């Protein structure tokens, strides 16, 4: 969720989750380096790193066979 503060500033809220996408963990890493993360956010990152859920492994690409499968009806 993003909340606009003024014309140049916004707040990005990351809800607590079990696993972090590569996109969100990369964004949050940038915010950490810039000093824009609250103490509770830093705690959540540490917990995720300790639990091994900070960066999810890359998914295998969809194969030609998978792309031709029909949904179950």
What is the per-residue pLDDT across 18-36, written as a single tens digit (0 to 9) for each? 778 778 888 888 888 988 8
What pLDDT does residue 36 have? 85
Cα–Cα distance for residue pair 18/21, rounded to 1 Å: 10
The answer to whether the CB of 10 falls within 8 A of the CB of 2 is: yes
- The pTM of this model reads 0.58
CA nearest 18: which of 47, 40, 38? Answer: 47
Collapsed DSSP state (helix, strand, coil) of residue 59: coil
What pLDDT does residue 71 have? 57
């Amino acid at each position: 969720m993003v909340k606009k503060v003024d014309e140049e500033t916004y707040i990005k809220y990351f809800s607590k989750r079990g696993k972090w996408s590569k996109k969100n963990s990369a964004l949050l890493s940038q915010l950490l380096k810039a000093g824009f993360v609250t103490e509770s956010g830093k705690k959540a990152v540490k917990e995720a790193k300790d639990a091994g859920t900070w960066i999810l492994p890359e998914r295998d690409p969809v194969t030609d066979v998978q792309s031709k499968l029909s949904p179950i009806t």
